[in-house]
Structure 1
Amino acid sequence: MLAIRNRVCTAIAMFCLVVLGACSATYQNHGYAPSDEELAELVVGVDTRATVDDVVGPPSASGMLSDGNYYYVRSRVRHFGMYRPQVVERQVLAISFDQNDAIANIERFGLQDGNVVPLSRRVTDSSVVSNGFLRQLLGNIGNLDPSQLFN
């Protein structure tokens, strides 16, 4: 009787440990933004685009044109159980250049600096928004034009 009681207590304790372990938050890091120590090697007005490529590396996103500014983006996302993932930290480092490809400005932005802006938003409009396959199939039944049958 005592052995069964010990096994039940052990099973309950193991179950509680598994439940508590499953409730811990997990974090995912995305992207790369250079540290302040790496940026200290760059001099505004002196260093060029090639120097930035050598010191901190090429960015994951750049401006619209080939001569555009450099944008380094880093974010940290918290996943907790069944809840929606939440961005807990985001840094955007913007390095802008003048017409001679020299560094004009270095700025760092975070979540506290303003609204969250989606960097890439690809939306394709479709005429099949809320129609499923069966609805499309049955919707064509009434679209029969008898005049086209005799042509």
Structure 2
Amino acid sequence: MSGTTGNLRKTVKAVGFVSVLAIAAGCAQMDRFHGFIPPEEELATLSVGSTTKDEVIALFGPPKSERGLQNNTVYYASSQFRRFGPFAPEEVDRQVLAIDFDGNDRVRNISRYTLEDGRVVVLDRRVTEDGINDVTFLAQLLGSFGRIDAGQFLGEP
């Protein structure tokens, strides 16, 4: 019996150790990065007054927001989110790069905003509308009862 008890204790200790490692790994900090901001070295290649909008888009790729093109501004944005275990992710860093163009589509100004600036920059919301306006599931279900054709329900052609 003592041999079986010794093996059982070793197994319980091993399972406990693996469980503690799994819990510790689950509570580790995880960082996620979204978006793109061009590096400073590439931004230094832009020349205010001479670089065109097409050259900027060719160099850095399409902007984060198409809305800015209507206002003659191109936006690039990046965010860093930090998450600890089961807690909701928290945004710890955000950068928005705004490149303004004049009437001739030449770079007029380059601005960088961060979370500390507190400036709100509205980017495009790419949300697919479902076409349902404040109708609950139950209301949809009850509303469909009036559209049942008795002939189809009974199997008549």
TM-score tier after normalising by the smaller chain length? 0.7 to 0.9
1:97–1:115 Cα change, 3 Å = closer
Match of 2:87 in 1: 83
- SS of 2:25's partner is helix
One-letter identity of the residue aligned with 2:97: L
Tell me the C-alpha RMSD between the 2 structures. 2.7
Per-residue deviation at 1:120? Answer: 3.9
Aligned residue in 2 for 1:148: none
Equivalent position of 1:126 in the other structure? 133
In the TM superposition, what is the alpha-carbon distance from 1:125 to its structure 2 partner?
8.1
Q: Any unmatched runs of 5+ in structure 1?
A: 141-151
Q: 1:117 to 1:86 in 2, by over 3 A?
A: farther
Q: Does the C-alpha gap of structure 1 residues 64 and 38 become closer, same or farther in structure 2, counting only changes over 3 Å?
A: closer
Distance 2:120 2:106 in 1: 29
Aligned residues: 137
CA contact (8 A) 1:41 1:55 kept: no
Change (3 A) 1:48 1:137: same
Give the deviation of 1:11 after TM superposition: 1.4
2:142 aligned residue: 137
**Mapping 1:1-151, distance limit 5 Å:** 1-62=5-66, 63=68, 65=70, 68-114=72-118, 119-121=123-125, 126-128=133-135, 131-133=136-138, 137=142
| Aligned counterparts of 1:77 and 1:92: Cα–Cα separation in 2 | 15
Give the CA deviation at 1:78: 2.1
**How far, CA to CA, are the matches of 1:4 and 1:94 in structure 2?**
64
Closer, same or farther in 2 for the Cα pair 1:84/1:125, shift >3 Å? farther
The percentage of aligned residue pairs carrying the same residue is: 37
Measure, in 1, the Cα distance between the counterparts of 2:83 and 2:47.
Answer: 39
Change (3 A) 1:115 1:49: closer
Distance 1:4 1:116, change over 3 A: farther
Q: TM-score, normalised on structure 1? A: 0.75
Instruction: Rate the CA distance shift 1:107–1:99 in 2: closer, same or farther, 3 A.
Output: same
Q: Secondary structure at the match of 1:17?
A: helix
Query: Separation in 2 of the partners of 1:96 and 1:19?
Result: 49
Q: Look up the equivalent residue of 1:19 and give its one-letter code.
A: I
2:151 aligns to what? none
Give, as a single letter, the amino acid of the residue that structure 2 aligns with 1:33. I
CA shift, 1:82, in A, is 2.5
